[in-house]
Amino acid sequence: MKRFLLLSFLTLALGMSHARSHSKNGHDYVDLGLPSGTLWATCNIGADKPEDSGDYFQWGNTEPYVPDSIMVEGKMLYADKRVRQLAEKYPEAERREVMSANKMMTDKHCTKDKDKWVYSKYYADMPKGIVDNHMELDLEDDAAYAVWGADWCTPSMEDYLELRLYTTHKDTILNGTAGYLLTSNISGFKDRSVFFPAAGSFDGYCTEKDLRRNKRGLYWSRSVGRDTYGATTVLNFNYWPFALPGKFGSGLISSSYHIRTSYGSVRSVLRKKRSDYEAERMERIFETNRYDTCGIKNGHEYVDLGLPSGTLWATCNIGADKPENDGNYFLWGETKPCVIDGRSKTSSIYKHAAGVKDSLTKYCTNARYGKVDLKTELELEDDAAYTNWGSNWRVPSEEQIKELLDYDNTDQLLTTRNGVFGCLFTSKRSGYVGKSIFLPAAGSVDGILTLHKGMYTSNKYWTRTLAYYKAGSTHAFALFFSSNGRAGILNGERLNANVIRPVWRQVKH
């Protein structure tokens, strides 16, 4: 009954947004009162209603995907007509490999170079394309402009970030379609919303199951992902409303990178003139080479994001002199940086072990793995932030990471600062909107002191909290993110080395 009432309320909210919608070139839009003045379409391109999936496009292509079918390894797959025509010349057992190798042939911005396909436009690196450093779609390649006409365009990544910052997000079902309802939190516009259906996406060819309709949404931006080897920025989400009880994790609407030869949805936007004040405010939020600082504590800069606990976050990692620098790497519970030599086994040098694996001497809850002391939080003598920075600086706790990840508190954006890839956490708290911290993608150091760092690696930041659900106490919690999606919490092996972003605890807001 409660579920029914909730869905009824959300459907009513959508109805209210429609009542306040207007039309441009025959397509409805909603004014959510956003600072930039951007107006959002109520439907995807190719859809007649907000809950309809609409058409699927490869990034930078203005012709929608027209599904064809082909038998591959005993399964009927959907595939683009050109790929199907090529693959059907081969025996059924060889078709998948042929289709995979030629999926770029349907992208008009790809060309054949000898025996392989390469990108011919919108590319900034040599390995897989012709470099032109063209980082935003031209109108001629913008599906929104091409299909819907003048003034309509595909959103930029900044448009998506603004939408997420100034709305509340709710997973819901509209007329049988799963998706996310984004409702304005701007005074005077709080009765207006837009619905993004989980329309699914696919990578050149797929089964109906692979499409993941009603389970996933992938919406193109017009911005290229710099240094991402053929990827572009997207708004995406997985519809898992009951997967995680908290307000953080994989099920939330987020920003990431995705291979541009895949097929996704397009939600169009209209531009509206904004005031000079708001223009300056938005430039401050989205300037890629700036960073915030609110003051200095014991010689180290911090940012106040307005978090409920009063936690202040350092602007830099331990050992770094700029926000985009990695800094030092520490084994969990050690206060001196490790030397990354690619040879030494960390089990033989770990401070809290007796020289061999599974011989823990501190922070252990299971006798199988060492001496039990039931300690689950780092003591000050083992806190790298306290011992290196002093005073009230600490390695963050699991709860402080959760607070940072809470989408009521911050928005997360995978982006770059001074050419360095990382995750930007921007405050959504009243009085602090736009304040941010940047965490560089520092990677992680494994058990033989080898650094693993790159676009598609998992980037980890230590907490001071033992991973209590690991029976052997061999792991501790860490904040992580990668190019594949939203930041979250996982457990990291204590014998691996990660970076640390310190926090300072003060009076609650």
How far apart are alpha carbons 23 and 348 in whole angstroms?
68
Same-domain pairing of 490 and 423: yes
Q: Is the pLDDT of residue 210 over 70?
A: no
Same-domain pairing of 210 and 359: no
Q: Give the model confidence (pLDDT) of 23-38 as tens digits.
A: 888 999 999 998 888 9
Q: What residues contact residue 7 under an 8 Å CB cut-off, 6+ apart?
A: 172, 173
Same-domain pairing of 360 and 453: yes
Q: Is the pLDDT of residue 47 over 70?
A: yes
* Mean per-residue pLDDT, 377-402: 96
Same-domain pairing of 306 and 255: no
What pLDDT is stored for residue 301 in this prediction?
97
Last-in-domain residue among 237, 270, 303: 270
Q: Please, what is the average pLDDT of the chain?
A: 80
What pLDDT is stored for residue 396 in this prediction?
98
What is each CA distance from 431 to 58, 83, 409, 427, in whole angstroms? 40, 53, 12, 9
Q: Give the model confidence (pLDDT) of 249-286 as tens digits.
A: 334 566 666 778 788 999 999 976 544 444 444 444 45
**Number of domains composing the chain:** 2
- The answer to whether the predicted template modeling score (pTM) of the entire model surpasses 0.85 is no
Same-domain pairing of 361 and 413: yes
Last-in-domain residue among 270, 298, 325: 270
What pLDDT is stored for residue 54 in this prediction?
93
Task: State both tokens at 507.
Answer: 């009076």
Same-domain pairing of 454 and 309: yes
302-304-305 Cα angle (round to 5)? 130
How far apart are alpha carbons 466 and 364 in whole angstroms?
9
Higher pLDDT, 490 or 306: 306
On whether residue 433 sits in a domain, the answer given is yes
Same-domain pairing of 337 and 460: yes
Same-domain pairing of 354 and 232: no
pLDDT band of 163, cuts 50, 70, 90: confident
Task: State both tokens at 383.
Answer: 């806190």
Question: Which parts of 189-267 fold into alpha helices (H)?
Answer: 208-211
* Mean per-residue pLDDT, 342-346: 78
What pLDDT is stored for residue 239 in this prediction?
55
Same-domain pairing of 498 and 378: yes
On whether residue 406 sits in a domain, the answer given is yes
On whether residue 169 sits in a domain, the answer given is yes
Same-domain pairing of 222 and 335: no
Least confident window among 188-192, 328-332, 342-346: 342-346
Instruction: Tell me the residue range of the domain where 350 lies.
Output: 290-504
Q: Is the pLDDT of residue 337 over 50?
A: yes
Higher pLDDT, 318 or 424: 318
Last-in-domain residue among 201, 235, 270: 270
What is each CA distance from 321 to 116, 159, 300, 315, 325, in whole angstroms? 43, 31, 10, 9, 7
336-340-344 Cα angle (round to 5)? 95
Measured in whole angstroms, how far is the alpha carbon of residue 46 from the centre of its chain? 26
Same-domain pairing of 257 and 396: no
On whether residue 111 sits in a domain, the answer given is no
Query: Any bridge partners for residue 111, and if so which?
Result: 118
DSSP 349-402: T-TTBSSSTT-B-SS-S-GGGB------B--GGG-HHHHHH-TTEEPPPHHHHH
Q: Is the pLDDT of residue 348 over 80?
A: yes
Number of CB atoms found within 10 A of residue 291's CB = 18
Same-domain pairing of 207 and 296: no
On whether residue 275 sits in a domain, the answer given is no
